[in-house]
Amino acid sequence: MRKVLIPTKLDKFAATMLSDRGYQVVLDAATPLDELVKANSDAEVLIVRSEKITPEIIDLLPNLKLIVRAGAGYNTIDIKYARKHDIDVMNTPGANSNAVAEEVIAMMLAVCRHVVAGDISTRRGDWEKSKFMGRELTGKTIGILGLGHIGQLLVKRLAGFEMKVLGYDPMLSPALADKLGVELTTVEHIFEESDFISLHIPENDETRGMINRRLLELMKPGAMLLNCARAGILNEADLRAVKAEKKIYFCNDVYPKDVAGEKPIADICDLMLPHLGANTFEANFVAAKRAAEQTIAYFEQGITNCVVNKALPDGLDAKYQKLAYVLTSLTNAYLGKENPTRVETSFYGDLAKYAKWMTPPIAAGIAAEFAPDTTPSDAEHYLSDAGIELVNREVDNNKHYGEAMTIDLFVGGNLIYKAGARGTITENNLMISRLNDFDQLYLEPTGHHLFVEYKDEPGVIGRIAGILGEKNINIVDIRAPQDLKSGLSLTVVKTNVEVPEMLVEKIREAVNASKAFQFTYLP
C-alpha cells in the first residue's frame, strides 16, 4: 500500500479519492512539516500547496517517488534536487487559474472605485463622496505578461469590459492570440501603452527582477501594475524609486515568504492581499481533485505529462536530443578554434514543439563542461552568460524533411562565417544528411571519423587511405560528397580507432586540406 502524505490545508476530497483507491493517506495541516515528515518517512508521495520542499525535507523521505504541487507554481520545491534523486515533481496547471484571474479583476475594480478606503470612511461615519472619484475599466488598455492558463482566462473574463488587450508570451501562437482577441507585442510596448499591466510569468533565472526601472519608467502616469504571479519578478526598489514620480498604482498578492509580519513592500502598495489568488473553495477543490487524479494516473497508468522536472518530455524520443548534441558538436569541430557567438536552429515536423528541450544538448555540444541533462532554462542561461545568442527559426514543412533538425553556428561580431549540419533519425539510427554545404552526406556518426575538406581533384581519397594504412588504421566506411558551387570535396573516413592528431596534420599537409579534424562520438 502506497503512503501519501498531505501536510497542507487541501480539500479532503483528495484524501478520500486516494483512500478509495487503496492508498494510505495522512492529511495533517497542523503538525510542523519537518516533524510530520520524520513521523512518516515511509511516504512515497507528497502532496503540497505552498510548503517549501527543500533538500533537507526530501532527504527525510528515502522512499519518495512523487511530489505533487496542488497548484501551478512550483518554485517552492527544489526540483533539481528531486531530479537527482529520481523523484518526479508534478503541478496541477489550471487548477487555480480562474481564481487568480478573478482576483486580478477584483483588485483592479477595488482600486479604481476606492472600495476599501470608501468602506472604511463610510463605516467611520464620514461622507467623502467627492474624495473617492473613480475610474472605469471600459475602453482602457490592459497589457498581460504571460498568456498561459491564468492570462488567457483573464482575457476572457475581461471581455465584458471592452478593453484593448496587449499581450506578451513567446510561447503563444499568433493564431491563438487572434482567437483570444490579443495583440501580441513587446514587453516595452506593453509598458508604454497600457493603463493596466498584469503579471502572470513564472519566477526563474530569466525573469527574476525582470520588471525593473527601465520598464517602470515607460509606464503612463496613473497606470496600474498588478502582481499576482511571483514576488521575485519585480524589483521593489526600482518601483519605489519610480512610483511617486509616475503616480503608478500598485496591487500585490505575492511575497518572498507566505508568513505573518510586516511586509517591506507595504509602503508602495495601494492594495495588498495575503496571497489569496488561489484561495477559493472552488480552486482548492479542483486542485485537490487533480492532485489525486494525477497521482493515481501516475502510478496506475504511467502518465507523466504534468511532471515539471523530467529530463525528457512525453512524446520525444531521447535519440533526437543525442542528434542535437552530435550535430552541434560536429559543427563546432568544423569551426575549429573559432568560438560561436550565435546558434540558429530549425526543427521540422513534430520536433518543433520540443525545441526548448534541444537547448541542453546544444549547449553541451558547444561546451564540453556543460551537462546535457540540465533543464532547458539552465541551458539558455548558460548560453546567454557565454555571450551566445540562441535563435529558433520558423520552418517550411513543405520541404518534407520529416522529423529533422538543422543547427547552424555563427562566429564573429558580424556573424559572417557559419557552419551547419542537418540530421534526422533513420531506422532508429542517428543520421547526418548535410554538413555545411556538403549535401547527401548520409553519415551515421557513431564511432571514429576523420573529416577532410579540400579542393576537388583526383587521387585525394587514395592518398588519405594510404597514409592511414601505413599506420595500420583500418577504414570501416567512406563518404565523399561534393560542393559543386565552391569546387570543394569532403571525405569522411570512419576508422576502427581514433586518428592521432599528428597523423591528422600529416594528412592535412599531404592533400592541402582546408579542413582536417577527428570527430568521435561513442554514446
> What are the pLDDT tens digits along the chain (523 aa)?
899 999 999 999 999 999 999 999 999 999 999 999 999 999 999 999 989 999 999 999 999 999 999 988 788 899 889 988 889 999 998 888 999 999 999 999 999 999 999 999 999 999 999 999 999 999 999 999 999 889 999 999 999 999 999 999 877 778 889 999 999 999 999 999 999 999 999 887 778 999 999 999 999 999 999 999 999 999 999 999 999 889 999 999 999 988 899 999 999 999 999 999 989 999 999 999 999 999 999 999 888 878 888 767 778 898 999 999 999 999 999 998 888 889 999 999 999 989 999 999 999 999 877 766 677 877 887 888 788 999 999 888 777 678 999 999 998 766 666 899 999 999 999 999 999 999 999 999 999 999 999 999 999 999 999 999 999 999 999 999 999 899 999 999 999 999 999 999 999 999 999 999 999 999 8
Instruction: Report if residue 517 sits inside a domain.
Output: yes
Angle at 396 between CA 381 and CA 339, to 5 degrees: 35
Same domain flag for 287 and 150: no
Same domain flag for 121 and 143: yes
Instruction: Report if residue 307 sits inside a domain.
Output: no
Same domain flag for 417 and 496: yes
Same domain flag for 261 and 154: yes
DSSP label at residue 211: B
Residue 378's pLDDT is 74
Run of H or E including 288? helix 281-301
Same domain flag for 425 and 383: yes
* pTM (whole model) above 0.85: no
Same domain flag for 88 and 142: no
Q: What value does the CA radius of gyration of the chain take, rounded to a whole number of Å?
A: 29
Same domain flag for 22 and 87: yes
Closest to 331 in 3D by CA, of 367, 376, 370, 366: 366
Instruction: Report if residue 457 sits inside a domain.
Output: yes
Residue 102 CA: distances (Å) to CA of 139, 228, 280, 490, 509: 19, 11, 10, 62, 72
Instruction: Report if residue 349 sits inside a domain.
Output: yes
> What CATH number is attached to the domain comprising 380?
3.30.70.260
Instruction: Report if residue 310 sits inside a domain.
Output: no
Instruction: Report if residue 192 sits inside a domain.
Output: yes
Residue type, 338: E
Instruction: Report if residue 90 sits inside a domain.
Output: yes
Same domain flag for 58 and 154: no
Same domain flag for 20 and 164: no
Instruction: Report if residue 277 sits inside a domain.
Output: no
φ, ψ at 446 (rounded to 5°): -65, 135
Run of H or E including 332? helix 318-335
> What CATH number is attached to the domain comprising 265?
3.40.50.720
Same domain flag for 142 and 163: yes
Same domain flag for 64 and 116: no
Assess contact for 80 and 104: CB atoms under 8 A: no
Residue 71's pLDDT is 87
Residue 413's pLDDT is 65
Residue 136 CA: distances (Å) to CA of 110, 141, 151, 158, 171: 11, 11, 21, 13, 31
Same domain flag for 84 and 117: no
The number of folded domains in the chain is 3
Residue 271 CA: distances (Å) to CA of 18, 213, 225, 514: 39, 21, 11, 67
143/395 Cα distance (integer angstroms):
29
Which segments within 59-173 are labelled E, that is strand? Answer: 66-69, 88-91, 141-145, 164-168
Range of the domain at 224: 97-272
